Amino acid sequence: MKSESSHNNPTWNAFRDTFCELEKAGVRVCLLRDDPLKLHELAEVDVLIPVEMRAKTAEALVNQGWTLRTVNRPGPGKQVYCRYYNRQFIWIDLHYEMVQNGLVYMDAAWVLESSRPFRDGLVLPSVEAWLLHVIHHVVLGKSLLAEKYITRLSGVTRSGFDSDLVLAQAKKYRLDGVIASIIDSPVDILSDVEGVASFNSRARQLLLQTQFSNRIRTTRRWLLKKTVNIRRLKAGYTIAIIGVDGAGKSTFISTLRGALKGAGAETREAYMGPWGRYLLPTTKFLSRLGSNPLDNIPNTDRSVPLPIRVMKWMKGITRRYLYYGNSLFEVWGRYFVLVFPHRIRGRLVLMDRYYYDLEVGYKNKEIRNARRLRRVLMALAPRPHLTICLSADPVAIANRKKEDPLHEVVWAVKAYAAFAERRNISIVRTDADIDDVVDHFLQKHWRRFV
């Protein structure tokens, strides 16, 4: 049965359809802490399923368009699935055990067995299971009780519950003494930061003493934090955004970063273009000398005396190839300073321009010299995971960048289009509203980096 609140909420409809499919597959999906009366407000839902249904659940979620989060994984006993839907990222936190910060604190089988049918493919935990879960969630993982739990927790304590059952379940993990000190007035006690901290210390000590598996889990978590996990070298993701000056790269990047906040993705921006914002001292020095890759070398026309012309030409050629040779060191320097440190931390790095721009031209101007050399340099440069080329109507671009003549902009748009086709790079048109542009991009590519 559909909930009334879900009729006008497409986001919850995506959750409901998924949970109903899981119900059809025989998977019991138990809502954990969330208020069942406010499901339509949620973009992230915590649920518990039987551990033996893990493979079947994963298959059903993938078939429904969900993707397992592979960056910053939550650890054993839990998986996080994500989906881009209705212009936002939505999440299912899938629990197989009742675990917090690596510590199993509660019998998941009892939570599922004592649950009662609800709707939208969900079951609800019993009052006693919900109460015990919320207390443990705060004591083991938070500094104080979140405001969203206060009203419901107050109602539970007023209406009554089976305290003997709660303490019996807590006793399985030797936490009955901790829980007995809290259940008479949980809202007041869990709203005190110092009180929660003291209970946290006691509960962690008891769980480590009585549960050998918890000691193994915490040791493993500690080792992962203290040592370098080589697999994380591949955890980050890089997107290079190239295109004509004025195509809207800065606006696209800022809008995309805002949209990705909902995905829990840590993003960084790095300028990686072959001109401007130089990093290496050699590049800054060559820039002061006037080094660039342009075809035209000043003061080499026929009106200049031949000896001077030859000297200027030789200096220009020397500066040009010094520029090319140094540019490769510059791009690798920027990569190791601006990109690599974030990649190994699992972040998404959005690169404003890239070394590939140099194969097209220089500041919207055509370059005909050293084509083969430039392609060799491109092959030796660090490669982004994904490259996209922004484009728009040349007249609109020329209106934004009035310093560039229209004929140069027209040439640049065509040159980038040819380059993108040659390299099999996606072209993203920025003529439309920027929110629509970013939405279309995410619909196509979000699984690559979330």
Q: Which residues of 22-42 are buried (b: 16+ CB within 10 A; e: fewer)?
A: bbeeebbbbbbbbeeeebbeb
Give CA–CA dist 350/336, Å, rounded.
15
For residues 286 and 70, what is the distance between their CA atoms, to the nearest angstrom? 43
The pairing of strands 103-106 and 98-100 is: antiparallel
**Alpha helix (H) ranges present in 335-370?**
340-343, 357-360
**Residue 396 φ then ψ, to 5°:** -65, -40
* CA dihedral angle for residue 43, residue 48, residue 52, residue 56, rounded to 10 degrees: -20
Across the chain, what does the average pLDDT equal?
A: 89
Torsion (CA) 126, 127, 133, 135 in degrees, nearest 10 = -170
pLDDT level of residue 339 (50, 70, 90 thresholds):
very high
* Residue 161 · residue 131 · CB < 8 Å: yes
Report domain extents, the chain.
Answer: 4-228, 231-449
- Strand 78-85 and strand 237-243: the pairing is unpaired
Residue 150, SS3 per DSSP: helix
- Which residue, 388, 383, 384, is CA-closest to 444? 388
| Cα–Cα distance, 149 to 265 (Å, whole number) | 27
Q: Quick one: fold of 231-449?
A: Rossmann fold (3.40.50)
Taking only the tens place, the pLDDT of each residue in 181-220 is 999 999 999 999 999 999 999 998 888 887 777 777 677 6
What is the model's pLDDT at position 227?
52
What's the pTM?
0.80
Choice among 7-11, 40-44, 123-127, 362-366 with the minimum mean pLDDT? 7-11
Question: What mean pLDDT comes out for the span 233-243?
Answer: 83
CA distances from 78 to 50, 96, 225, 264, 305 (A): 12, 6, 18, 16, 77
- How confident is residue 401, by pLDDT bands cut at 50, 70 and 90? confident
The whole-number pLDDT of residue 4 equals: 44
Asked if 129 and 113 touch (Cβ cutoff 8 Å), the reply is no
pLDDT surpassing 90 at residue 355: yes
Do the Cβ atoms of 346 and 71 come closer than 8 Å? yes
Out of 70-74, 166-170, 298-302, 423-427, pick the least confident.
70-74
Q: Is the Cβ–Cβ distance between 244 and 409 less than 8 Å?
A: yes
Quick one: angle between helices 281-288 and 306-334, nearest 10? 150
